[in-house]
Amino acid sequence: MMGVRAILLVIVTVALLSQGIAIAAEEKASILQLSLKEVQDYAVKHSTATQNARVDVGMARKKIWETTTTGLPQIRAKVSYRNNLSIATTLIPAKFFDPDAGEDEFEPVKFGTQHNATIELSADQLIFSGSYIVGLQASRIFLQLSKEQLIKSKIDVKEAVTNTYYLILLAEDNKKTLESSLQNVKRTLFETKELHNAGFAEDTDVDQIQLSVTDLENAVKSIDRQIEITYKLIKFQMGVDLQKEIRLSQTLEDILSEIDKGELLTSEFDITNHIDYRMLDTREKSLRLLVKKERAEYLPTVSAFFSHSLMAMRNSFNFFDKDEKWFPSTAVGLNIDIPIFFSGQRGARLAQAKMDLEKAKNDKKQALDGLQLELLRARSDFATALEETQKTRDNVKLAKKIYDKTLVKYSNGTVSSLELTQVHNQYLTAESNYTKAVVELLNAKTRLDKALNRL
């Protein structure tokens, strides 16, 4: 009997453990584990900025068709009905009815019927319009600009989430350093208390180290809050639900190892391929078309029209009576609108359009110089950040070496707790400076990638 109970207990235990493992696996699977590239790709697809930019591209495509259709046949049908509750009265000379009537005598008469209906079908076709031709070209330029704005939005989103990704890694690295230091200082505090109890350490030694422990504990809590807020920021930038759990799968060192430093510092790049320059170039094209449009306003507009209508005039509402007549009317013709004189208004608009074009040319030239300068500055910042990272890495090794030696001296009683605390703070500062240097290096790389149009 006991054997059966034991077997049942084992089965139940295994089932519970399996369920617990399954739940844990499910919870882990629900957490997004994302590399930097995956964060960028997700943000490009789901962020509000890029989604709106895609909508703008779709709207630009519809704008092309809207503009195109204004030059296609426009067909309309119209049905109208009029009930003359009181037919208008007209005065005509009485001589029409009585030759002997005086010149100033008139007879009131009513013309028309009470019920009138009209069915009309009309069509218009644009034959020539300079503004229409330019408008078609402008709508395609608008589409091009919308596509470039989408590319720009993707770059901006990638830059934003990349910087936030680095901020999280910086905070998490700082937290690891603080937690490691906290454990070491707690160990030192325990040893100091033991020495104090044995009469080999003073109260101030214990208090000094206890103060360091408290400071480190507060620093860990503070950085935990910072990490939480920064995670919410990156989820907001990515378009992820703020309640969704995500984790970063890369470390600062992982990303550092992927950087091709030499290639970034020496690669050639045609500035005219930069998205900012391309957008300015497209803007210049649109302003050229604006000049063409203003010139086209001087050209005539030619259109054709066709109209066919049926009219019925009755004294009773019997429009559905097949035996009653409908009277047809058909017309076809041309409209030619020729601009002649507008008191210089159109000339002023043309002059303004030319001035806007001139400004766009100047902006494009300045942007070319500015982008070249930005590339030079980005490369300089990247090179400086490389040097700073190497220097702070060496400083960490040196500060750790000094701290380890000072810790041994403190254990031997040859240095005070105050000196130990100072050396420990120096080590923490070196670690923090190194992590900041790494993040600045990665941010410099991001700026350089953007200057090279690689984001």
Task: Supply the pLDDT for residue 112.
Answer: 84
CB of 119 within 8 A of CB of 79?
yes
Task: Supply the pLDDT for residue 323.
Answer: 84
- Express each pLDDT in 217-255 by its tens digit: 999 999 999 999 999 999 999 999 999 999 999 998 899
Strand partners, 327: 311
Task: Supply the pLDDT for residue 202.
Answer: 87
Cα→Cα distances 201→208, 405, 414, Å: 12, 19, 12
CB-count exposure of residue 333 (10 Å: 0-12, 13-18, 19+): exposed
3-state secondary structure at position 414: coil
CA torsion sign for 185, 186, 187, 192 is positive
Per this entry, what is the length of the chain? 455
Please, how many CA atoms are within 13 Å of residue 7, restricted to the half-sphere of its CB?
Answer: 4
pLDDT, averaged in runs of 10, over the chain (455 residues): 46 48 48 92 96 97 94 96 89 81 82 92 96 94 96 96 94 91 90 85 88 94 96 95 93 89 85 93 95 93 97 91 91 94 88 95 94 94 94 94 90 84 89 91 93 88
Q: Both tokens of residue 221?
A: 């809590």
Q: How far apart are CA 425 and CA 432, in angstroms?
A: 10
Q: Both tokens of residue 232?
A: 């919410």
Q: Per-residue DSSP letters for 181-206?
A: HHHHHHHHHHHHHHHHHTTSS-HHHH
Q: Both tokens of residue 343?
A: 């008191």
Q: What angle do CA 374, 355, 344 make, to 5 degrees?
A: 165
Instruction: Classify each residue of 91-127 as buried b or exposed e, where b means 16 or more C-beta atoms within 10 Å of its C-beta.
Output: eeebeeeeeeeeeeeeeeeeeeeebbbbbeeeeeebe
Any idea of the CA torsion for 166, 172, 175, 181, to the nearest 10 degrees?
-90
Radius of gyration of the chain (CA): 42
Q: How far apart are CA 170 and CA 159, in angstroms?
A: 17
The type of residue at 168 is I
Task: Supply the pLDDT for residue 101.
Answer: 79
CB atoms within 10 A of CB 84: 14
CB of 106 within 8 A of CB of 91?
yes
Q: How far apart are CA 160 and CA 47, in angstroms?
A: 11
Stated as kind and residue range, the H or E segment containing 108 is: strand 106-110
Task: Supply the pLDDT for residue 8.
Answer: 44
CB of 63 within 8 A of CB of 170?
no
Task: Supply the pLDDT for residue 16.
Answer: 45
